[in-house]
């Protein structure tokens, strides 16, 4: 079953985020967004092409909120 393609953006959606990459499958997209956020500071969000909605937001920063990788994610 094809879950669809999901787009990862940096920045905030209300401020016209910048496209980073597209990933097939929701689980893969969430995992990849976590990898990107662990490597590079900033805000990220995951956009569903099929539902035209934002599914998850994540803030990547060193040791943010006590997480060892500095990640703070919110599923919407």
pLDDT in tens, 46-58: 999 999 999 999 9
Residue 2 predicted with pLDDT over 80: no
Contacts (Cβ under 8 Å, ≥6 apart) of 31: none
pTM (whole model) above 0.75:
yes
Higher per-residue pLDDT: 68 or 24: 24
CB under 8 Å to 76, separation ≥6 — which residues? Answer: 53, 54, 55, 56, 57
- Are 58 and 72 spatial neighbours (Cβ–Cβ below 8 Å)? yes
**pLDDT at residue 17 above 80?**
yes
16: tokens are 């016209």
pLDDT value for 59: 87
25-45 pLDDT, tens digit each? 999 999 999 999 888 889 999
Closest CA to 58 of 50, 48, 66, 41: 41
């Amino acid at each position: 079953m094809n879950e669809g393609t999901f787009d990862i953006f940096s920045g905030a959606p209300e401020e016209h985020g910048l496209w980073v990459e597209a990933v097939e499958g929701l689980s893969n997209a969430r995992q990849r967004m976590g990898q990107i956020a662990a490597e590079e500071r900033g805000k990220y969000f995951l956009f569903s092409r099929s539902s035209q909605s934002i599914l998850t937001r994540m803030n990547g920063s060193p040791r943010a909120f006590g997480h060892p990788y500095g990640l703070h994610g919110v599923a919407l």
